[in-house]
Amino acid sequence: MVHITVSSDNEIGKKGQIKKVKLSHAFNYIIPQKLGYRSTIDELVEKEKNENTLRYIDEIKTSFLWEYKRRLNGLNIPFEFNKDVKIVVTQEDILDYLLGRGLIRENDELYDKIKNKKIKLVDFGTYPIIYRFMNNINIDITVHIIKIND
């Protein structure tokens, strides 16, 4: 096997990608057709650095999500309303609740997930909400809309 750097977008891959192919395929087809060239040591080192960096970023994101799961999973969020008031609870209200108590940070993956999940609750009751992430991480939050008597 030999590493080939793709010269231009084609059936082998996109320009700049490094592919591992059989030696005969490389020298009988790819290189003569100028679809790619043998990768240099510097290109292979750069590819390894990029893969390690991306893996490290994924590990950091996953650790943040596990921390949020530990902190927020099973959380009950109460909203109280008088019985005569028109009720509307949206994802913005849930974000305000979580941000106001320091349970999440702005502009991270959980914040974006909550902000993008359109929620509009308009009646009294209990509403379970599940946020699903990569690596099968689920965070379950329950919103309670409670009627208070004056």
Is pLDDT above 90 for 94?
yes
Can you give the C-alpha Rg of the chain in angstroms?
25
Is pLDDT above 90 for 40?
no
What is the average per-residue pLDDT within 53-66? Answer: 88
Band of residue 85 on the pLDDT scale cut at 50, 70, 90? confident
**The pLDDT value given to residue 83:** 82
Is pLDDT above 80 for 135?
no
Longest distance between any two alpha carbons in the chain, whole Å? 85
Q: Which is nearest to 120 in space by CA: 93, 96, 146?
A: 93
Is pLDDT above 70 for 56?
yes
**The pLDDT value given to residue 74:** 92
Share of the chain above pLDDT 90, in %: 35
**The pLDDT value given to residue 58:** 87
**The pLDDT value given to residue 43:** 86
Per-residue tokens: 38: 């043998």
| Distance, first Cα to last Cα, the chain | 78
Is pLDDT above 70 for 150?
no
What is the average per-residue pLDDT within 105-111? Answer: 87
Is pLDDT above 80 for 44?
yes
Is pLDDT above 80 for 20?
yes
- On whether the CB atoms of residues 112 and 95 are closer than 8 A, the answer is no
Per-residue tokens: 33: 């057709």
Tally of helices (H runs) and strands (E runs) in the chain: 4, 8
- Cα 15 to Cα 29, 44, 68, distances in angstroms: 17, 15, 39
